[in-house]
Structure 1
Amino acid sequence: MRFLTTVDFYPFNYLDAANRLSGVHIDLARMICEKLDLSERCQVQALPWEELAPAMEAQRGEAILAGLAMTAENREKYLFSIPYFRFPARLITPRSSPLAEPLHASVTGLRVGVVGQTAHEVLLRDLFPRARSVVYSRQDWMYEDLKQGRIDAIFGDGVTLSFWLAGKASEGCCSFSGGPYLASEYLGQGLAVATSRDLPQLAEAIDFALHEIQVSGGLNEIYLRHFPTGFY
């Protein structure tokens, strides 16, 4: 069983300080193999992104675990597993001003920063029509305005926001409020394992393994190993 991945999708697949292939996808591949009793025959190979599809066509791998988008075009080439990761939208606010439930009421009239021309901008307006959207072209300007009190909250990708919250730049100013917001019609269907359309039994086996991993808490264990703070 060979999984194909890349080295440029931190923290999902990357080379660590010792030049070892690491990340969420690497740990997930090993856990899938354990569930399928294939650990001794399990391999993960990193390739440049543009070489993944040719490698699958040449049968040099059985699955792609690299964040391949579940588009209509890709669905014609591959079978996709159930999603193992969804990108949640989150609100962050100053620690001194947490939002109270119900969120829709407490956000009314607040100045909420969001990066313009993104799915999060559209989702913010649809989820919280009574909030005052403040649109930014740069994320760092938005962060600074939140720290300085020029806006009341930020709405955006939970993964990106989790790294900022845990980093030095945030100076411990803020935290998540409410959420998470999982809206596939805005934010996509998430990440899944892609397998050859000629291997439906493998796709079913991977679905089984992912279900078992999720039920056992294995996915949360992997996420907390690679992300600085929980974003769900």
Structure 2
Amino acid sequence: MPRRIAIRTTSRLAAFVLSAFAICLAGAPAAEAASVGGDGTPIPNFFDPNRRLDRPAPGSIGSIRFTTTDDFPPFSFSGPDGQPAGFNVDLARAICVELAVPCTIQVRPFDGLLDTVAAGRVDAAIAGIAISPASRAKIEFSDVYLRPAARFVARRGEAPAAISPEGLTGKTIAVVKGSAHEAYLAAFFPKAERTLFDKAADMEAALKAGKADLAFGDGGQLAFWLQSATAGGCCGFAGGPYLDPGFFGEGLAIALPPGRTDLRQAINWALDSLSDKGALAELYLRYFPVGYF
């Protein structure tokens, strides 16, 4: 069964990646380059501005049959009219406009989607299929267009002065039990006290109630909680984003059947072009008004 990328908290304990230690520990920006929106929201950018890809020849791509799911908000869900909606859906449509080709977007269950792509029954899946050695053995992927980032959250006015292994010594950190975030804390913040919860909602409620000094989890998920009525403006991000593909996954990319080099190159060109034009930044701000970078 294919595994969905850990944009949401998962129970998989990922491998320890020493090469990312310095970047992750310092809370460095999670993208190679970033810009800032009009309201000061950092906007991630994972595309090299100096890279120049060849535009696909007219007619080289006839059409694209995209597939997605309807249970992965805000990336893909059923809109009020019952039609597919979300970040991924809008991105798929933008890619087709950029390439000037017709496309369809069909909703399918996530289970079995990897095999559907591998068999060529669709041209592309934009559904959060995790990039891994197992999935790469069956299918290909486009360039990554968005990465998950882990974040600390604290009550407003109560964030520790230093978000670092020493600075969090003895601090109580709420985290989901058995998650990659728990494993990350154990590896990099061993002097902090971990308080474990079965669900992210319980972790968030404990922080709001003052039963923990901080919470640590998926940045995207926490961003939605921070802007919710449930949070009630109690809390905010503390420190910077943490990226470690060994713990949190390589990121979101479009899954393609094997051998579709033409389509992969065309989609990569479209993604690069959309990034240059600011369209990816606009999508990010639309679906993540409280940015998690």
TM-score, structure 1 length as denominator?
Answer: 0.89
**Mean alpha-carbon deviation: is it higher for 144-153 or for 68-77?**
68-77
Corresponding residue of 2:86: 23
Alpha-carbon contact 1:99-1:178 (below 8 Å) kept: no
C-alpha distance after superposition, 1:90-149 (max 9, x if no partner):
000011213434634432321111111111001112222232222222333322221222
Identity %: 38
Change (3 A) 1:217 1:197: same
Corresponding residue of 2:41: none
Which structure 2 residues correspond to residues 38-187 of structure 1 after superposition, within 5 A? 38=101, 41-50=102-111, 52-53=113-114, 55-56=116-117, 59-101=120-162, 103-187=164-248
**Mean alpha-carbon deviation: is it higher for 28-37 or for 90-99?**
28-37
| Structure with the bigger percentage of helix | 1
Deviation of 1:205 after TM superposition, in Å, equals 1.8
Deviation of 1:61 after TM superposition, in Å, equals 2.4
For the residues of structure 1 that align with 2:188 and 2:278, how far apart are their CA atoms?
30
Alpha-carbon contact 1:11-1:23 (below 8 Å) kept: yes
For the residues of structure 2 that align with 1:180 and 1:108, how far apart are their CA atoms?
19
Change (3 A) 1:145 1:218: same
Deviation of 1:184 after TM superposition, in Å, equals 0.3
Q: Which of 210, 213, 217 is residue 274 of structure 2 equivalent to? A: 213
Alpha-carbon contact 2:118-2:139 (below 8 Å) kept: no
Corresponding residue of 1:12: 75
Compute the RMSD of aligned alpha carbons.
2.1
Deviation of 1:194 after TM superposition, in Å, equals 0.9
For the residues of structure 2 that align with 1:223 and 1:121, how far apart are their CA atoms?
27
C-alpha distance after superposition, 1:140-167 (max 9, x if no partner):
3322221222211000111111121111
Corresponding residue of 1:32: 95
Which blocks of at least 5 consecutive residues in structure 1 are unaligned?
Answer: none
TM-score, structure 2 length as denominator?
Answer: 0.72
Between the two proteins, the alignment pairs up a number of residues equal to 230
C-alpha distance after superposition, 1:38-77 (max 9, x if no partner):
2xx1221222334645654664421111111223232122
For the residues of structure 2 that align with 1:57 and 1:155, how far apart are their CA atoms?
36
